[in-house]
A and B are shown apart, each in its own frame.
Chain A
Amino acid sequence: MSDNLKYTKEHEWVAVEGNVAAIGITGYAQEALGDLVYVELPEIGKKVGKGDNFAVVESVKTAAEVYTPVSGEVVAVNTAMAEDLELIKKPANQNGWIAKIKIENPSDLEGLMDEKKYKEFTDGLS
């Protein structure tokens, strides 16, 4: 796990490297969704605003939107994931990210939770 891993209340994780944020969905989200059957990736170059939906993950149960906690431009998408959906279970450095976004405002990261806080948050949801 990267030291820079941050979490959102919508159950995305963000791995920051320099000015780029790699975004994936947490184990809690994966558990709630069940096995995925489809992931819809954004287009490279797309501008997204903080809180925007930038990808869709679909399971047998439901389809869910994935939100970006940072504003910026999509600079990479994980095309391998579209072929192998099991990748979503992997950590950021093992291709578990959905897309990478070039961070426009580093202050967007300020409100995000660290691992300990996120665990407290999910424990409280049950």
Chain B
Amino acid sequence: MSAERKIETVTTGQNEIIEFNRGLLYEESLLWEKEHADHPGVDLPAPENLKSRTGVPDRENIGLPQVSEPQVLRHFVKMSTWNYSIDHGFFPLGSCTMKHNPRLNEKLARLPGFAQIHPLQPESTVQGALKLMHELQHWLAELTGLPGVCLAPAAGAHGELAGIMTIKRAHEMKGNKGRNVMLIPDSAHGTNPATAAMCGYTVKSISTKETGRLTVAAFKEALGDGKDVAGMMVTNPNTCGLFETEIQEIAKLLHKAGGYFYCDGANFNALVGKVRPADFGVDVMHINLHKTFSTPHGGGGPGSGPICTTAELAPYVPVPTVVKNGETYSLQWEKDRPETLGQLKGFQGQFGMHVRALSYMMSHGADGLKQVAEDAVLGANYIMASLKNDFHAPFDGPCMHECLLTDKNQKDAGVTTLDIAKALCEKGFHPMTVYFPLVVSGAMLIEPTETESKDSIDRFIAAMKEFAADVREGDSEKYHAFPESTPRRRLDEVKAARTPVLRWPSDI
């Protein structure tokens, strides 16, 4: 790393230093490339007359690097600094709800009574843990208006799978035949059609290109007579950051045709505490505990994707679920709930995430959760209002918890969404979601979340405004070279995808 690296500081009238990120600090070689990488890190006597009983070649001959404990430690600590996270700075990745993970959640999840229990312990010895899960089921049921809760799914997409399997199970148990179509808007998350296909459904797309929203007319066209429709998968607010204003009417038409309404809960952060999805017609919904309820994700921890259903669908959800009899809590399995679709996950799901999510809910309270949604929506609208004269906004606001812009105003000068994302890396921000949703060209989807301060959002807005001003003034050439301060500069992404090098050095 060059000693002359410029660390940019910005000074105000009072010579106050304002925090600023730029590039990354460390360069690091591979373990194999380290000096003396052939020297053992520990000095243990070689065991005598040791014969491999597994057929594995001698340790010396399989090319493992030999490094000492401090070398290994420094290697991984340095590399961990390359992993930009919400604990480093602003992370406006649209559709991902990268909010702060309160440390109170971590403290509670580490309590020995939660952290050191085993799923095979007798239920009588883990009553507290079961009570916590029961309480979480209750909170989710209250917040969604959907009383059938299963906490087991291990992630968002797993929750989707559990939700659509629940719908499939319901049709099977009710003897409904010939329903093999799933209706999905063209702005959906890619996991929606994938989930439908995994469950054996044919996907029929509903067009939202005109206004970014579902319309009754477009829905009716996709529904037809509805005899072959098993259900509909909709994200609300949708991936354009817009609330689906005609959703109640659409849900009524779907129900009349005999289909079920699955709601993708990825964007629940915009509604939590304000809107109960059951009230706009949802039959089953997954909840990303790791988005809305702040459990760590994006490399920071496992996800957790509980599903919530109407009372009608509750018998079919996966096992186990937690019930309370008198003062005793227990898990219900197939023998207790014969209509269930079965078990989808080992044991009871990501229990550590259940603890963190309930900690988040209870520490915020009902009023605090309401404010979460309000502040998340406010932040996104602040960004949209600040940037809509610089960047093209394909759909008029107000938006919900994320704001959608495009590169339309910059494209003719040769600066695309990809270039803007790379320029943000140069400025020390994690880029927004790019080229999604697919229904608009050159999409930039920005989700600040409620935990970002106004100062931090203002710095992001200032960076974006600077890019737009540069392009307006004809200073656009440098945007093809960013990022310049990072250890690796602009990568040839096409070449990397077409001819990936998966081993380095290639002769090992």
Find residues 424-441 in chain B having any chain A CB closer than 8 Å to their own CB.
Answer: 434-436, 438, 441
Contact with B along A36-50 (1 / 0, CB 8 A): 011000000000000
B493 at the interface (CB under 8 A from A): yes
The answer to the question of B498 belonging to the interface, with a C-beta cut-off of 8 Å to chain A, is yes
Do the beta carbons of B441 and A37 come within 8 Å of each other?
no
What 3 pairs across the A-B complex have the smallest Cβ distances?
A37-B497, A35-B494, A61-B435
Given A61-B434, A61-B435, A62-B435, 7 extra CB contacts under 8 A: A34-B494, A60-B493, A60-B494, A60-B497, A61-B418, A62-B438, A85-B498
| B residues 243-293 touching A (CB-CB < 8 Å) | none
Q: CA A62 – CA B438 in complex, angstroms?
A: 8
Chain B proximity mask over A64-90: 1 for CB below 8 Å, otherwise 0 = 100000000000000000000100000
Number of interface residues of A (CB under 8 A): 10
Nearest chain-B residue to A85 (Cβ)? B498
A-B contact list, 18 entries, CB within 8 Å: A32-B441, A34-B494, A35-B494, A37-B494, A37-B497, A37-B498, A38-B497, A60-B493, A60-B494, A60-B497, A61-B418, A61-B434, A61-B435, A62-B435, A62-B436, A62-B438, A64-B438, A85-B498
Q: How far is the CA of A37 from the CA of B496 in the complex (A)?
A: 9
Q: How many residues of B contact A (CB 8 A)?
A: 10
Min distance, Cβ B140 to any Cβ of chain A, angstroms? 33
- Inside 8 A of B438's CB, which chain A residues have their CB? 62, 64
A-contact 0/1 string along B428-464, CB 8 Å cutoff = 0000001110100100000000000000000000000
Which residues of chain A have C-beta atoms less than 8 A from B497's C-beta? 37-38, 60
Cβ contacts under 8 Å, A64 to chain B: 438
Smallest CB separation, B496 vs chain A (Å): 9
CA distance A60 to B498 in the complex (A): 10
Task: Give the residues in chain B near A34, CB-CB below 8 Å.
Answer: 494
CA distance in complex: A38, B499 (Å): 11
Shortest CB–CB separation between residue B318 and chain A, in angstroms?
30
The smallest C-beta distance from A97 to any residue of chain B, in angstroms, reads: 20
